[in-house]
Homo-oligomer: A and B are copies of this chain.
Amino acid sequence: MHQRKIPLYAGCGYSFTMQIIGGKWKICIIDALRDGPLRPSELFKAIPDATERVINQKIKELLNHKIINRTIYAQQPPRSEYFLTELGRSVFPLIDSLDDWGEKNRAVYEDVNPENISR
């Protein structure tokens, strides 16, 4: 595994929250599970821009962080389903706010040269 060298900074609530739901794909996963449990393969289909490997990694983090949980069916071939925990559902309002802000303010950057937008 990967051994962290610089301790995570969580001095403020938002830094902490960002550790849980930040990164490139986590919110996508949470959002995809809104309407009910999904099997891994369904999750991959729901987020086609991400590789399966990354989704698996992020699933693991979300499991560790108790945002999602898993049902494993004792079948062959294996079958499992991921679903949101109570804690996971509690981030819906955050996602919605972030999403609304983004959709609303996307237009602000539309008339700008991309060179001037990027970091």
- How many protomers of this protein does the assembly include? 2
When A18-B22, A90-B101, A94-B98 are in contact, do A117 and B13 touch as well, CB less than 8 Å? no
Given known pairs A65-B117, A108-B87, the reply for A101 and B17 (CB within 8 Å) is yes
Complex interface bits, A86-107 against B, C-beta within 8 A gives 1, otherwise 0: 0100110111011111111110
CB of B13 within 8 A of CB of A108, answer: no
When chains A and B are docked, how far (Å) is the Cα of A119 from the Cα of B64? 7
Does A74 reach chain B (CB closer than 8 Å)?
A: no
Contact status of A98 and B13, CB under 8 A, knowing A66-B108, A87-B105:
yes
B49 touches A102 (CB 8 A): no
B13:A100 contact, CB within 8 angstroms:
yes
